[in-house]
Amino acid sequence: MSFVLVMVGGWYFIRPALFGAPSTETISLPLTASRAEIALSTSAGRLEVGPGSGGTLIAGTLGLNRNERLERQMATRSDTQVVQLTVRQTGANILLFGTLAQDTARWLVTLSPVVPLVLKVTTGVGDSALNLADLKVTDLRFEGGVGRATVRLPKTGIVSADMKSGVGQLNVTVPSGMKARVRVSTGLGTVKMLGDFQSDGEIYTSSGYAGASNRIDLRIRGGGGAVTVEQLGR
């Protein structure tokens, strides 16, 4: 009898994880201010970010795993639009019988290329690809979880960036014409710098950085994976 009760009780808790359905939400927000702050926080799956149309601040399709919901926070402060998209867990999403309850949602997000952006990205489990070359990102904060992350930095402007990699590989591309100063500190991972960087301990500076009109000040804190920074057109 007790065995039957255990089985029934176990099924009661497992059932939502097995039968909760993945879903997809969409977003399309017109551009109404001269600046913007965007914060994206995902759970398990793939994230892709790139340029969109000038009149739309943010657009895309946002996949949600079973037992997840999307929190949207939108506001306007003075001349700045603020958007926060965060995934929240509403129930168990456990791994049973292989990958039966393991989901891999996908976010495809585009941002306006015509206004200065402060961009904050936090990922969970899965790969991410941020193509920021044609965006006016002035301040970037990226925190990776488990998986491979590829970040192509803006090709113009003065940019401040702070990246924290998790468990996995972080590949950062500095576009041609963009000068960079990179401060790297890693845990158990490795660091590879490809470009005309001059090293001074953990600081790597490209030639002509000090007087460049297009430059990025980048800090990378590595986790347990490999970090590669590649400067194009060197």
Is residue 9 in some structural domain? no
- Please count the structural domains in the chain: 2
> What pLDDT was estimated at residue 166?
80
Rounded to an integer, what distance in angstroms lies between the CA atom of residue 17 and that of residue 2?
Answer: 24
Q: What is the reported pLDDT for 100?
A: 41
| Single pTM value for the model | 0.86
Whether residue 177 sits in one domain with residue 114: no
Does residue 114 sit in the same domain as residue 165?
A: no
Q: What separation, in Å, do the N-terminal and C-terminal C-alpha atoms of the chain show?
A: 73
Asked if 203 and 229 sit in the same domain, the reply is: yes
Question: Domain for residue 160, yes or no?
Answer: yes
> In this structure, how many other beta carbons lie within 10 angstroms of the beta carbon of residue 39?
16
> Do residues 119 and 28 share a domain?
yes
| Distance of alpha carbon 122 from alpha carbon 190, whole angstroms | 22
What pLDDT shows up at residue 224?
Answer: 74
> Residue 24 has what pLDDT?
95
- 46 and 113 inside one domain: yes
Answer yes or no: is 99 within a domain. Answer: no
Same domain membership, residue 211 and residue 173: yes
Asked whether the beta carbons of 204 and 181 are under 8 A apart, the reply is yes
214 part of a folded domain: yes
Asked if residue 175 and residue 120 are part of one domain, the reply reads no
Instruction: Decide if 7 is inside a domain.
Output: no
Report which residue type is found at 220. Answer: I
Task: List 30's β-bridge partners, or say none.
Answer: 56
One domain for residues 180 and 113: no
- Give CA–CA dist 56/66, Å, rounded: 29
Regions of the chain short of the pLDDT cut 50: 1-17, 94-102
113: containing domain: 22-90+104-141
Residue 172 in tokens:
């950062």
